[in-house]
Chains A and B, each alone.
Chain A
Amino acid sequence: MGTLARTLSTNQQTGNGFPTDQRHCYTGIMVGLCGILMVFTGFTSAYLVRRGIGADWQSISLPSLIWVNTLILLISSLCLEYARRSVQNIPVLWRWWITATALGLTFLFGQGIVWKQLWETGLFLSSNPSSSFFYLFTATHGIHLLGGIVALLGMTLKLYKGRLHQVHVNVMAIYWHFMDGLWIFLLLLFVVGR
């Protein structure tokens, strides 16, 4: 832990809170998120077009569990933000970090249950275009979130070994908050734009 504390505190901060020598990491994540955003833009435009042309469109009613899942993801994001702001206090950082990871996993598990509930009502991927898009969006978001969880777990290992850099925490938080915002957008699409 002593090594860890030293690792996290050696970064020189600039005015915007980002260490100067790792600026490429922040640029990289922002550019990467643009790429991800374009994938979802493609899906969203297809969603809007397909909804507008198909007489076979039947809006699906979302299971109430999805709201609980949303709350879990929001809290997870909040925990990661607390972790990011606690880099000087390793035990606190550790606590928030693990909680955020666990909640992320819980969200994914919850999404799996939502899928199961839909299957039980007879709504499958190919049932109608609305359900096709629901599965598509939740799966694609889930894959991205799963990637985030793998990164979180990898960083947990680094945290344990005392090799975690502050930039990792910051970049991870940016990614996680983006996934959070993306999920809210998708949820709005299902609720308002159905």
Chain B
Amino acid sequence: MVDSVHPHAVHEPPSGFISKYIFSKDHKVIGIQYYLLALFSVFVGMALSVLIRINLVWAGTEFSILETLFPEGAPGGVMTPEFYLAMLTMHGTMMVFMVLTTAPQGGFGNYFLPIQIGARDMAFPTLNMLSFWLTFVSLVVLLGAFFVAGGPPISGWTAYAPLSALGEIAGPGLGRGQDLWIISIAIFCIASLLGALNFITTVLDLRAKGMTLMRMPLPTWSWFVTAILGLLAFGVLLSAGVLLLLDRLAGTSFFIPGGLVVSDQLIDHKGGSPLLWQHLFWFFGHPEVYIAILPAMGVTSQVLSVFSRKAIFGYRAMVYSMFAIGILGFMVWGHHMFMSGMSPYSAILFSLVTTAIAVPSAIKTFNWLGTLWGGKIQFDSPMLFSIGFVSLFVSGGLGGLFLNQPATDIYLHDGYFVVAHFHLVMGVASIFGIFTATYYWFPKMFGRQMNENLGKIHFWFTFIGVNTIFMPMHFLGIAGHPRRYADLSGFNFLAEMWPLHLFISIAAFITITAQFVFLFNFFWSLFRGRNAAMNPWNATTLEWEIPSPPPHDNFGDRQLTVCHGPYEYSVPGRERDFVMQTEGEQE
């Protein structure tokens, strides 16, 4: 650790529009850029999910608007099965990469990590800027798949080989669309690696005097652990992407087995292994779940403590359990492949390690409940969403107990139970983390409060909505409903489940509509919201002792000395019920 804020992280305040708002090196501007990118992406992803839900309930029904919008994908206003799969692929890719990976880490991490440790910026501001713009290019390339011949790929967000490796002979979207998908993900990997480098270095070397590791706020810990996961995971995905691209464009046979006949044509590849792709992909894919959710755990811990006016229960246990989740997360990728014909002995090992993740997860959950217990709870919007996060993490996580057993997974694997599980625990729980962070830090970022009533309306519609969407999907899965089927009409046993699908679709439409309440609140508050005080939540961490929004160099010339931990609330004998981290420092 160093003695003072580093002069190297200081760059002159930008004067022109371009350097201030477009190619900015300021971590706060970059954070907002990431956030807006994710906000755009989440609405695109939701629009795609509307198409998916429409097709599941009304497959074969003519919607003339669909033909206008997608003449190739919905000729005569009826979606083709391939178009459905393309929407599925793009929905998953947009949500996992452009939303769940960017907003919590790139958005809030960029904005608040340097401030929470008392730094003036990230360790490498130029690299930080490059990281965002590479992510932006990655998004543009991904969206480009909508506009090339054949459209977006149909191989799912996991891009399983050999489907993804064969080219357009295997189906529409598997030509240029799949190429663009792989290139986009490769660029995203490079951007994420650069981001991880910056986050890790900043935490290790740029902490202010007195900001020991065990005085760091839990969101900072979560961004730090997430960055380590990203550093170790995205490199492997990048290598897998390069191999896949070579199979497609250079005639190599890494993932394509011999003797494949596709569309009555013998494929001129031999000896490759589709399972090799799965191993490489899931070595990234499972840590990716924690890349999405760890920052949500961090901000939840912060908000539960602030709005209970209590210290977080078991601070050190929270830190260690984050590391435990991160480390174990790298040893469980095989549980995505129980159906691949792996040795039962390997399956048992993967199953045991996966089950072990329940231990740190339970530690965190009980600590969150312990924090709430006996607290003076204030049910403001950030608090509602953080409690919602805990609820979703538990209900989604419990589904994992069924899926981590090979015997039950073999039945449940390719059905809606899995869809319900990962949407609840990875998707919606992480999104609740993003909402928690948005409502909590909005006053600091923009100097205005979000509307509280609209926040509560947004919460209740969303919380009830996501449960009504995804809870019934467990029942569909248990009843044997397969996933990834575009048209369910050909299967008699599925006909009885149609009313439940209709119910889920209606719930989805209502929940998505409720997100426009959030969107309105966000932009309305940006310009018309009540002016925010420097520390509207009476919180203790460093971001709450600088103006809202913070100036370019965060702390200016002030030499910070951190004297307290991040969660000193309701300390006996104090005039106020919170102790700022720098309280008592010698100026």
Restricting to A108-142, which residues have a CB under 8 Å from any CB of B? 125-126, 129, 132, 136, 140
Cα of A39 to Cα of B197 in the assembled complex, Å? 14
Pick from B200, B237, B276: contact of A46, CB under 8 Å = B276
Cα of A32 to Cα of B200 in the assembled complex, Å? 10
Cα of A129 to Cα of B201 in the assembled complex, Å? 38
Most buried by B among A31, A32, A136: A31
Flag whether A16 is at the interface (Cβ < 8 A). Answer: no
Cα of A56 to Cα of B252 in the assembled complex, Å? 12
Q: A20-B2, A31-B197, A42-B240 are in contact. Are A129 and B254 (CB under 8 A)?
A: yes
Closest to B1 in A: A23
Cβ of A20: which chain B residues have Cβ within 8 Å of it?
2
Q: A42-B240, A50-B272, A53-B271 are in contact. Are A28 and B201 (CB under 8 A)?
A: yes
Closest to A33 in B: B197
Flag whether A192 is at the interface (Cβ < 8 A). Answer: no
Flag whether B142 is at the interface (Cβ < 8 A). Answer: no
Q: CB distance B232 to A42 under 8 Å?
A: no
Pick from B123, B206, B236, B276: contact of A50, CB under 8 Å = B276
Flag whether A37 is at the interface (Cβ < 8 A). Answer: yes
**Smallest Cβ distance from A189 to chain B, in angstroms?**
14
Pick from A23, A27, A56: contact of B270, CB under 8 Å = A56
Flag whether A43 is at the interface (Cβ < 8 A). Answer: yes
Flag whether A41 is at the interface (Cβ < 8 A). Answer: yes
Q: A23-B205, A41-B235, A42-B280 are in contact. Are A49 and B200 (CB under 8 A)?
A: no
Flag whether A185 is at the interface (Cβ < 8 A). Answer: no
Cβ of B237: which chain A residues have Cβ within 8 Å of it?
42
Cβ of B235: which chain A residues have Cβ within 8 Å of it?
35-39, 41-42
Flag whether A64 is at the interface (Cβ < 8 A). Answer: no
Flag whether B321 is at the interface (Cβ < 8 A). Answer: no
Q: CB distance B232 to A34 under 8 Å?
A: yes
Cα of A39 to Cα of B235 in the assembled complex, Å? 4
Cα of A40 to Cα of B193 in the assembled complex, Å? 14
Q: CB distance B236 to A24 under 8 Å?
A: no
Cα of A54 to Cα of B273 in the assembled complex, Å? 8
Flag whether A160 is at the interface (Cβ < 8 A). Answer: no
Restricting to A169-193, which residues have a CB under 8 Å from any CB of B? none
Flag whether B251 is at the interface (Cβ < 8 A). Answer: yes
Q: CB distance A42 to B252 under 8 Å?
A: no
Closest to A20 in B: B2
Pick from A41, A53, A54: contact of B236, CB under 8 Å = A41
**Smallest Cβ distance from A98 to chain B, in angstroms?**
27
Cβ of B253: which chain A residues have Cβ within 8 Å of it?
54, 56, 126, 129, 132
Stretch at the interface among B242-250, B391-399, B570-578: B242-250
Restricting to B193-221, which residues have a CB under 8 Å from any CB of A? 193, 196-198, 200-202, 204-206
Cβ of B251: which chain A residues have Cβ within 8 Å of it?
125-126
Pick from B250, B270, B280: contact of A125, CB under 8 Å = B250
Restricting to B216-265, which residues have a CB under 8 Å from any CB of A? 231-240, 242-243, 246, 250-254, 258
Q: CB distance B205 to A53 under 8 Å?
A: no
Cβ of A24: which chain B residues have Cβ within 8 Å of it?
6, 8, 123-124, 201-202, 204-206
Most buried by B among A35, A39, A50, A140: A35
Cα of A57 to Cα of B254 in the assembled complex, Å? 11
Q: CB distance B236 to A129 under 8 Å?
A: no
Cβ of A126: which chain B residues have Cβ within 8 Å of it?
250-253
Cα of A132 to Cα of B193 in the assembled complex, Å? 26
Closest to B268 in A: A126
Q: CB distance B231 to A35 under 8 Å?
A: yes
Cα of A132 to Cα of B271 in the assembled complex, Å? 13
Flag whether A45 is at the interface (Cβ < 8 A). Answer: yes
Cβ of A49: which chain B residues have Cβ within 8 Å of it?
273, 276, 279
Cα of A42 to Cα of B237 in the assembled complex, Å? 8
**Smallest Cβ distance from B583 to chain A, in angstroms?**
28
Q: CB distance B205 to A27 under 8 Å?
A: yes
Cα of A157 to Cα of B565 in the assembled complex, Å? 47
Q: CB distance B231 to A31 under 8 Å?
A: yes
**Smallest Cβ distance from A34 to chain B, in angstroms?**
6
Flag whether A22 is at the interface (Cβ < 8 A). Answer: yes
Q: CB distance B6 to A21 under 8 Å?
A: yes
Q: A23-B2, A27-B200, A136-B246 are in contact. Are A34 and B236 (CB under 8 A)?
A: no
Q: A24-B8, A57-B271, A126-B250 are in contact. Are A38 and B232 (CB under 8 A)?
A: yes
Q: CB distance A50 to B6 under 8 Å?
A: no
Q: CB distance B200 to A31 under 8 Å?
A: yes
Q: CB distance B272 to A42 under 8 Å?
A: no
**Smallest Cβ distance from A3 to chain B, in angstroms?**
20
**Smallest Cβ distance from B244 to chain A, in angstroms?**
11
Q: A42-B280, A53-B271, A125-B251 are in contact. Are A132 and B201 (CB under 8 A)?
A: no
Most buried by A among B198, B239, B243, B272: B239
Q: A129-B252, A129-B253 are in contact. Are A38 and B270 (CB under 8 A)?
A: no
Closest to A131 in B: B252
**Smallest Cβ distance from B117 to chain A, in angstroms?**
13
Cα of A37 to Cα of B232 in the assembled complex, Å? 9
Pick from B2, B204, B238, B246: contact of A39, CB under 8 Å = B238
**Smallest Cβ distance from A127 to chain B, in angstroms?**
9
Q: CB distance A56 to B280 under 8 Å?
A: no
Pick from B124, B240, B273: contact of A28, CB under 8 Å = B124
Q: A49-B273, A56-B271, A126-B252 are in contact. Are A35 and B6 (CB under 8 A)?
A: no
Cα of A38 to Cα of B283 in the assembled complex, Å? 11
Interface string of B434-451 (1 = CB under 8 A from A): 000000000000000000
Cα of A143 to Cα of B201 in the assembled complex, Å? 24
Q: CB distance B252 to A46 under 8 Å?
A: no
Cα of A46 to Cα of B506 in the assembled complex, Å? 45
**Smallest Cβ distance from A193 to chain B, in angstroms?**
17
Q: CB distance A46 to B254 under 8 Å?
A: yes
Cα of A36 to Cα of B196 in the assembled complex, Å? 12
Interface string of B267-285 (1 = CB under 8 A from A): 0001111001001100100
Q: CB distance A46 to B243 under 8 Å?
A: yes
**Smallest Cβ distance from A167 to chain B, in angstroms?**
10
Cβ of B231: which chain A residues have Cβ within 8 Å of it?
31, 34-35, 38
Q: CB distance A38 to B201 under 8 Å?
A: no
Cβ of A54: which chain B residues have Cβ within 8 Å of it?
253, 271-273
Closest to B231 in A: A35
Cβ of B271: which chain A residues have Cβ within 8 Å of it?
50, 53-57, 129
Q: A24-B201, A38-B236 are in contact. List 16 more A-B contacts (CB 8 A).
A: A24-B205, A28-B124, A28-B197, A28-B201, A31-B197, A31-B201, A34-B231, A35-B197, A36-B235, A38-B234, A39-B236, A41-B235, A42-B240, A50-B272, A53-B271, A132-B252
21 sample A-B contacts, Cβ–Cβ < 8 Å, listed by A number = A22-B8, A24-B8, A24-B202, A24-B206, A27-B123, A27-B200, A28-B123, A31-B231, A35-B193, A36-B235, A38-B234, A39-B236, A40-B239, A42-B237, A46-B276, A56-B270, A125-B250, A126-B252, A129-B253, A129-B272, A132-B253
